[in-house]
């Protein structure tokens, strides 16, 4: 069985979906998206998401490596922020971009039945 070579878009999307493949990571990202570009301190992020300590550190590392969040030191605090608003939007569009392209019934088309 021959596997098609993966396009860069497919590779990036797969990495980002993998990073979001945990309820806790998805929760952390949602909290950061809600916080906006200012982000939250790691302590506040933990309090709002319910994920704390080394578990939060682990999940932030995975989200950061997928390019979805950043962490920056500000004085004594670590500020975490969602940075990939466009990437998250592109990720959903990646799934929907070719919606029903091979179907006789394009998305939204009503069938009489």
d(CA 77, CA 84): 22
Contacts of 73 (CB under 8 A, 6+ apart): 79
Phi, psi of 17 (to 5 degrees): -65, -40
pLDDT of amino acid 2: 45
The pLDDT, as a whole number, for residue 55 is 96
Q: How much is the pTM?
A: 0.75
Q: Beta strand 77-82 with 40-41: parallel, antiparallel or unpaired?
A: antiparallel
Does domain 10-90 correspond to CATH entry 3.40.50.720? Answer: no
pLDDT, mean of each 10-residue run, the chain (113 residues): 58 87 94 93 96 95 93 93 80 75 66 49
């Amino acid at each position: 069985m021959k596997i098609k070579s993966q396009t860069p878009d497919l590779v990036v999307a797969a990495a980002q979906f993998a990073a979001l493949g945990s309820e806790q990571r998805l929760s952390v990202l949602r909290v950061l998206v809600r916080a906006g570009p200012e982000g939250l301190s790691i302590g506040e992020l933990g309090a709002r998401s319910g994920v704390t300590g080394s578990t939060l550190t682990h999940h932030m590392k995975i989200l950061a490596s997928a390019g979805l969040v950043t962490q920056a030191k500000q004085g004594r605090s670590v500020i975490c922020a969602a940075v990939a608003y466009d990437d998250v939007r592109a990720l959903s569009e990646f799934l929907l971009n070719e919606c029903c392209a091979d179907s006789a019934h394009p998305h939204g088309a009503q069938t009489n039945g």
